[in-house]
Structure 1
Amino acid sequence: MQEEVNFVLEESKERMDAAITHLEKELVHIRAGKATPSMLDGIMVEYYGTMTPLNQVSNVSTPDARTVAIQPWEKNLIPVIEKAILAANLGFNPDNNGEIIRINIPALTEERRKQLVKQVSQEGETAKVSIRTARKDAKEQLKKMLKDGLSEDMEKDAEEEVQQMTDDHGKKVDALVEAKEKDIMTI
């Protein structure tokens, strides 16, 4: 029985960790007014008939806090990259000089900052819901195991451990959300 309890605990921990990882990825895409190369993660470019990530066909850098520079390895990729950036609908307007594509990141207005903070809060709440769902599923599995012969003490201990994991992961979500909100509201 102990192995099955450990399996339930491991599975719920993995699901909670996955919720944190997903939140981190989502928060990277919410821009805080500063230019970062990760803003363009997920943009795919057609390269010799294959959809390829932008960072695998060019150098993506930030020469200053308001600019993202994309230097393709082949000049014939410039129009393809520009189309991909526009198609990604990120609100960026690429500008090229024949060798480098530059994207100027405008400063955020106060209203836009507040919208982004709300979006960050929603992402945090979504992560917390995933964590609570993992807790609920673990508790249901432990209740079934109790009916199948698991001792009440083991079941209570496992439930407490699941609750502790839930609390810890909830604190991580709060910390991530708070850090991102502070980043967004900093001018």
Structure 2
Amino acid sequence: MDQALKNDLTDKMNKAIIILEKELSGLRTGRSSANLLDPVVVEVYGSKMPISQVGTVSTPDAKTISVQVWDKSMVKTVEKAIADANLGLNPSSDGQIIRMSLPILSQERRHELVKIAHKYGENTKVALRNIRRDGMEHLKKMEKDGAISKDDHHNIGEEIQKLTDDFTSKVDQHIKTKEEEILKV
């Protein structure tokens, strides 16, 4: 297989998997995770910033998330941003530290989270198929330009499909692991 093409496709597919891992890390599983606050954006000093740029996010125990806000005047703003993010968290401040206790997930909510995880997985699979399609179109162009033979096109196409299948199975494994994590009570 054309090594440059293979490396390019592998890099793009790895990036799709990294994005999936980041999305899955933000799903609540009943245990606290600092990544749960990743979608929170705080309006400070006239611009919007991720919460990680206005304070230190930590998980002191399995059921609590805390944010130590660096600027004391921003505590109320950060607290409001967390509440407005619709994450199901009730922030309460104690000086410069905002604490949130994670409510226990109901079985119904756990199943909703599993559906969201599957949606993330399907979106990643679509991205992988699009990357494969781009690689196959590149092969067609190479064959048309005379850079590779018809047999090479066929063999490289099979390698691209195998690469896609390998990454698709990685997606399935990530989703399966996350599903088990979410459903574990």
TM-score by length of 1: 0.89
1:127 corresponds, among 118, 124, 129, to: 124
Counterpart Cα distance in 2 of 1:8 and 1:70: 44
- Using the aligned pairs only, state the percent identity: 43
Structure 2 unaligned runs (5+)? none
Report how many residues are paired. 184
The equivalent residue for 2:50 is: 53
The equivalent residue for 1:169 is: 167
2:90 corresponds, among 84, 89, 93, to: 93
- Cα contact 1:9–1:158 (8 A) shared by 2: no
The CA deviation at 1:58 is 1.9
The CA deviation at 1:52 is 3.1
Q: Secondary structure at the match of 2:111?
A: helix
1:139 corresponds, among 136, 142, 145, to: 136
Counterpart Cα distance in 2 of 1:107 and 1:81: 23
The equivalent residue for 2:155 is: 157
Write the deviation string for residues 40-76 of structure 1: whole angstroms up to 9, x where unpaired: 1242333444433322322221121111111212322
The equivalent residue for 2:9 is: 12
The equivalent residue for 1:104 is: 101
Structure 1 unaligned runs (5+)? none
The CA deviation at 1:104 is 1.1
Aligned residue type for 1:165: L
Q: Secondary structure at the match of 1:52?
A: strand
The CA deviation at 1:153 is 2.6
The equivalent residue for 1:34 is: 31
Between 1:71-80 and 1:115-124, the stretch displaced more is 71-80
The equivalent residue for 1:186 is: 184
Aligned residue type for 1:102: R
The CA deviation at 1:160 is 1.9
The CA deviation at 1:148 is 2.1
- Cα contact 1:20–1:173 (8 A) shared by 2: yes
The CA deviation at 1:89 is 2.4
Aligned residues: CA RMSD: 1.8
The CA deviation at 1:37 is 1.1
Identify if the C-alpha distance between structure 1 residues 133 and 99 changes in structure 2 by more than 3 Å, giving closer, same or farther.
closer
Q: Secondary structure at the match of 1:45?
A: strand
- Cα contact 2:30–2:104 (8 A) shared by 1: yes
Write the deviation string for residues 21-41 of structure 1: whole angstroms up to 9, x where unpaired: 111111111111111111112
- Cα contact 1:35–1:67 (8 A) shared by 2: yes
Write the deviation string for residues 121-144 of structure 1: whole angstroms up to 9, x where unpaired: 111111111111211221122123
Aligned residue type for 2:171: V
